[in-house]
Structure 1
């Protein structure tokens, strides 16, 4: 039986963190009919008072990330009066960190979005990644943190963009049997080169859907099963010859693939600091 609930997400910043927490929690429930109401940048009692009638009209669960004590207290009071459950989703983590670090949290909204050095490095990473998509700009690949290689439609570009948003400079190159990659790919020293692969059946399905979305025919080698198997075999031989780590993206989301790559990057960094330079195992 499906139960509909209204979920109010109240944040004093962009609400990105709160939205991700809510999404992760909701993923644990099946057949949940949840109507989300998003209330970002709530930084004053006046703003809070303006949205309370909407919370009352669609009564449900309130999740919030508010650091201002007066605004928090006001929300909690109004929710109690309306009989609404209000949950401060970051309080437990913040409290534990205060104890571990021996200091109090700053209590300032949006601190994770400050335009500090890390922010500008992330912007630079995004610009680099966009400029080095699909084999472009191979002369600068040595400046990358990560280089992704794989056959067409193996999730190289979306994975690159996701990693760029995490602050990593990423280049990617499609592997084509008839067109060998530039020699510089095999001479890279600094970037972590990762091979992406997929099951032939899944790749054919993705390519076929792509062609259909472009109103193009599907009677082509691009979606021929035998041809696709040859492409994947070619890419796998290349990965094996160079000793590059390989990630099978067949049943992985972009986020899961990116997490695996970040883990590989961390492992390589730890091995380098220990003086170990052996290849990384496929994932």
Structure 2
């Protein structure tokens, strides 16, 4: 069965890293997203820290020529990769080199290369772990008695991407709780009196929410159990009530109908950062 869309083409994308490869994956996918009908076949090679490991990578590149992106600290390994890519006639690039060179020209001095430096067990790392633990424990309205310790509290009706957005923010080190807005169910005590956290409402169009809820019920084989859950008028009333709640409390409201989780989280992060800047300026 051929699932290829007419007009689509494929190419091999080799991502070679001496760390986890996450940086390369993100950069590669961001670049590929600019080409609507070109799809990458990703070959990810993490933790490449020896010549023996590199030779296996180079054999794969020779068998499947394509673009090679890399982040390698070891000069000998890096030079061997570049040399072999030139011999094979495949394009290659260090995704961090231009950025590091820019930093060096501005800051002066030479950088101190560290394998996987961005993943080191520093204070920021443990802050992210702490945020993830907090966010998981405060998902979907659980443990609402200590919401004042959150950085962000998300509110929204069912299927407005509260949980994935919370997890994404937690990966940025932001402790995030989320609370579902359910018809006839009051908010947990104290939510409307929160001072420290940034409270944000999430909404979407009734059509979008109904579509997602229908798919959800089908996946659970419970399509006959959710008449009001997928009734457009009932859903529209839920959204109206959530909008009124946010307006009454002066909480920012984000329409996620056409936003990815990443875009929603980026907007919330910007609101959170601006709020912190104002608080610092006022002290």
Shorter-chain TM-score: what band? over 0.9
Deviation at 1:30, TM superposition (A): 1.4
Map 1:1-283; keep pairs closer than 5 Å: 1-218=7-224, 220-275=227-282
Deviation at 1:33, TM superposition (A): 3.4
Q: Which segments of 5 or more consecutive residues in structure 1 lack a partner in the other structure? A: 277-283
* Cα distance in 1, alignment partners of residues 41 and 71 from structure 2: 19
TM-score, with structure 1 as normaliser = 0.94
* Cα distance in 1, alignment partners of residues 269 and 125 from structure 2: 19
* Cα distance in 2, alignment partners of residues 22 and 88 from structure 1: 12
Deviation at 1:60, TM superposition (A): 1.2
Coordinate RMSD, CA, aligned: 1.3
Partner in structure 1 of residue 4 of structure 2: none
Q: Which segments of 5 or more consecutive residues in structure 2 lack a partner in the other structure? A: 1-6
Contact 1:68 1:108 in 2 (8 A): no
* Cα distance in 1, alignment partners of residues 223 and 84 from structure 2: 59
TM-score, with structure 2 as normaliser = 0.94
Contact 2:150 2:196 in 1 (8 A): yes
* Cα distance in 1, alignment partners of residues 61 and 218 from structure 2: 44
Moved over 4 A (4+): none
Deviation at 1:4, TM superposition (A): 2.8
- 3-state DSSP of counterpart to 1:172: strand
Contact 2:32 2:39 in 1 (8 A): no
Is 215-224 or 6-15 further displaced after alignment?
A: 215-224
CA deviations on 1:227-256 (whole Å, 9 max, x unpaired) are 001100111110000000000000000000
CA deviations on 1:162-207 (whole Å, 9 max, x unpaired) are 1111111000101122011022101111100001011111111111
* Cα distance in 1, alignment partners of residues 152 and 279 from structure 2: 16
